[in-house]
Amino acid sequence: MTDLSVLTPDRLELGEGSRWVGDRVVLVDIPAGRLFSTPVEGPGALTEVARLSEPLAAVAPVEDGRWLAAAGTGFAMIAPEGVRRVAEPVPVTGKAWRMNDAVADPAGRFWAGSMACDQSPKAGALYRLDPDGRVHTVLRDLTIANGPAFTADGRTMFLSDTPLGHVDRFDVEPASGELSGRRPFLRFDPAEGAPDGLTMDADGFLWVALFGGGAVHRYRPDGVLDRRVAVPAKQPTSVCVAGSTLVVTSGRGGLADPGADDGAVFVGRADVQGRPALPVRWTGPETS
């Protein structure tokens, strides 16, 4: 059984996007536009890496030490000298919207979901940003696209649509990034919570953060539940296995009466090995 403890006294409005990068874990507080890091070995204080003037949904490392971000309504490069916009997706809704969870695949492409700010049904999309800077709208009619996660060979992608309680599985053509073969992988009853962030460990098992469910689950490749880990917060948002450390973010936004640990970052022993976040292979423009 895995017991989680609170990492620091910090409480985030909407912690998200935890990723294992080198000797640290990075994560964001979306509405605050803040990027944080903390050491993998003996995690401690959250250190602010960058602060944006717009919502910061998720980042992936770039091979030269920068960060590619899904931020606001587009993509930005975060570097020591500042933040630069690099690409703008085509909106799929006339409502106010923003980018959401994002991750790089084994080919160095950056996949990012989107959502309407009022969470309107079918107002979200999944975008693919190729290394050369071209943006493709690969899925429409999503509500809140969350947690893209890829198998180690890059041939399978998992994607959650949080309000629907769905996690779907897709075939990926490695060379082009084209998706096909969409089929259900997991379906959650609302009483269990809603699938938010996803990650895959070194064994090829899928971890799911259950927003509103106070738990993270680990699933076998055939979709059978392998493990349930209780989280002492109502709204777990992302899950990461860094080395053998389980890291879970949460949010306190939207709660009428947040508890003491809502919005905290949690750590515990995973008893399995994680997979480091993959880098973006960026060859595109530096400004849009």
For the chain, the DSSP string reads ----EE--S---SBEEEEEEETTEEEEEETTTTEEEEEESSS----EEEEE-SS-EEEEEEBTTS-EEEEETTEEEEEETTEEEEEE-PPPS-SS-EEEEEEEE-TTS-EEEEEEETT--TT-EEEEEE-TTS-EEEEEEEESBEEEEEE-TTSSEEEEEEGGGTEEEEEEE-TTT--EEEEEEEEE--GGG-EEEEEEE-TTSPEEEEEETTTEEEEE-TTS-EEEEEE-SSS-EEEEEEETTEEEEEEB-TT-SS--TTTT--EEEE-SS---PPPPB---S-S--
The per-residue b/e assignment along 113-130, b for 16 or more CB within 10 angstroms, e otherwise, is bbbbeeebeebbbbbbbb
Rg (CA), the chain: 17
Residue with tokens 């890829």: 150
Catalytic status, residue 29: no
Phi/psi of residue 162, each to 5°? Answer: -60, -55
Catalytic residue among 101, 105, 168, 196: 196
Quote the tokens at residue 262: 């809502």
- Active-site positions? 196
